[in-house]
Chain A
Amino acid sequence: MTRPMRPPFRTLLALVLGICALAAGPALAQSSPPRIVIGPGVIEPMPIAVPTFIDEGGAGDYARQITRVVISDLEGTGFFRTIGEDAHISRITSFDGGIAFEDWKAINAQVLVTGAVSVAGDRITVKFRAYDVFNGQTLEGAALQFAGTTQGWRRMAHKVADVVYSKITGEGGYFDSRVVFVSESGPKNARAKRLAVMDYDGANVQYLTDSSAIVLAPRFSPTGDRILYTSYETGFPRITLMDVGSLRRRTLEEQPGTMTFAPRFSPDGQTVVFSLERGGNTDIYALSLNGGGLRQLTNAPSIETAPSFSPDGSKIVFESDRTGVPQIYVMPASGGEGTRISGGEGRYGTPVWSPRGDYIAFTKQNAGRFHIGVMRTDGSEERLLTASFLDEGPTWAPNGRVLMFTRETAGAGGQTSLWSVDITGRNLKQIPTDGPASDPAWSPLLP
């Protein structure tokens, strides 16, 4: 029997083309209307099969839970649809045994992911293979083994999913990452806030501070081991540096009569760029963490804030209201006046340079609505990805293809929550958190 030659990953091709088309840049640009959620029909999710990983000894519930997380990661992208196990014809009973590819073709699975888990004491080993069902081959580089402590089982599941996602889309993975955010409680006029970190999907929440002082806008260091944030712990807003492992923290730049906020790391983790307010005027400064002192980067009577480095460290994108309305500017990392890049109607803020260097994400406020958007680093090809009463503060996934942000509902009972959206505007969804949450910041991909 011969089958007509079938291009492997037909749907995938569409997906990759979709992203390529995006990268090449449609000519729509400036005047494009706000895009909210585009229906799932735009990209047909690729059917895949992920049978429950095999228990190769002592794995107990881990095999089932790891499989569940792999499926959740992949389906959560909107690019994959897993075919339920009740529809499977073959069972995978041995990790290294032969595979009846015809059985997987028959249910139209384009990719098959098999895995096995073994546990000895507190050590766990997870191995997996991802196959191209139609040519019966392992996807190149998609046959790996992870070993560590059982405590890290979710991370291993994320790593499996990252490899599969990455091999199929050609994009970097982002599932094995953490998000630091502000956990909120209490009424709108007396909100209590504390720092917390979680897996990118909302699991494994840990609290880093209590709620005795307001904390705002945490940011991970490029290696994920430190966090910068703004805290009112001293009674006044001050940028604070925390070591994630020990939770030890210290206040940076305590100049009397000033306020410091909106900190971010440089790509090499050696410098903090932030806003310093003195006498009502806010400018951008850089502070070397190696004792190199403080440098003033902007010097204007207007508000200059929300600085973010380009991934090569050569430029800084920031927000300024020097024209009377907040807009986005780019300046050399050494400082200067900067060149305005935002040009549309409304107010622009919180620009963040993509880790891939290709886009700048921002918050836009126009006609009583807030949007998360992206633009090229020269301001062209602006596209709004969301629209709501209040969306703000985008943060990039490590692969530069997904954004997470804060959404707040209106009114006395208004609450914050965390949402994510692809840079195409697709796959808008809420991240599950125990309670109200704001100001997410994505870590780099974990090692």
Chain B
Amino acid sequence: MSLAAKSLLLVAALALAACNNPDRYGAGGAGGTGGAGGAGGGINTTGLGDPNNPTSIAYFNQRVGDRVLFAVDQSTLSPEARQILTAQAQWLNQNPGYAAIIEGHADEQGTREYNLALGARRAAAVQNFLISQGVSASRMRTISYGKERPIEVCSSEACYQKNRRAVTVLSAGAGV
């Protein structure tokens, strides 16, 4: 990758990281890795680490970029998304001690049911791309939140475009 492309990627990643709120599901909300009292496993706690440490979750979230965005109703990966996911795959391949849950989300336009299915489609598109880049399927799991968990709350395209996303959420451990 050229230096220019790398810098572009970094800028994009930092811009995305700015809207990354680690407590995005709020107290008491069902966590992406296990709801309270759920049977699907306890809560996985992993330190974010130092963003300057290339093996840390913080580095992945902020420097690599933990999310990709989608067009309305689409689950097709844009060239920008492919670039971020290629970097995600490289990172995951270099750091086999992490597992990932890929969350698919939709904006609020659309019914609850359709958006759940659409979010799942987006998460699967990301998972399939990462698999194609050599990341083991056993390290990944997908979940859809539909329109239940927007990160931006305005009702215009400026917010909608950030909500139509798939986020790769890491946790320590070799599998999910």
> Could you list which residues of chain A lie within 8 angstroms of chain B, going by C-beta atoms?
186-192, 211-214, 216-217, 230, 232-237, 251, 257, 259, 261-262, 275, 277, 279-282, 303, 305-306, 319, 321, 326, 347, 349-350, 363, 365, 389-390, 392-393, 408, 410-412, 414, 439
Interface size class of B (residues with CB under 8 A): 35 or more
* B2-10, B26-34, B60-68, B89-97: which lies at the interface: B26-34
Residue of A nearest to B122 (CB): A280
**Hey, which chain B residues are within 8 Å of A277, CB to CB?**
116-117, 120, 144
Are A190 and B144 in contact, with the CB atoms below 8 A?
no
B100-125 contact mask (Cβ, 8 Å, vs A): 1 or 0: 00000000111111101110111111
Complex Cα spacing A167 to B23, Å: 56
Are B154 and A392 in contact, with the CB atoms below 8 A?
no
B51 nearest CB across to chain A (Å): 24
Are B29 and A235 in contact, with the CB atoms below 8 A?
no
Q: Which of A235, A257, A326 contacts B31 (CB 8 A)?
A: A235
**What are 12 residue pairs bridging A and B, where the CB atoms are less than 8 Å apart in the complex?**
A189-B149, A189-B150, A190-B26, A214-B35, A216-B112, A232-B38, A235-B33, A237-B116, A280-B128, A305-B113, A365-B110, A412-B154
> Could you list which residues of chain B lie within 8 angstroms of chain A, going by C-beta atoms?
21, 23-41, 73, 75, 108-114, 116-118, 120-125, 127-128, 141-145, 148-155
Residue of B nearest to A362 (CB): B111
Are A390 and B108 in contact, with the CB atoms below 8 A?
yes
Are A349 and B114 in contact, with the CB atoms below 8 A?
yes
Residue of A nearest to B31 (CB): A235
Residue of A nearest to B35 (CB): A213
**Hey, which chain A residues are within 8 Å of B23, CB to CB?**
190
Are B113 and A190 in contact, with the CB atoms below 8 A?
no
A311 nearest CB across to chain B (Å): 21
**Hey, which chain A residues are within 8 Å of B38, CB to CB?**
213, 232-235
Complex Cα spacing A214 to B149, Å: 10
Are B32 and A282 in contact, with the CB atoms below 8 A?
no
Q: Which of B35, B116, B118, B142 contacts A212 (CB 8 A)?
A: B35
Complex Cα spacing A214 to B73, Å: 23
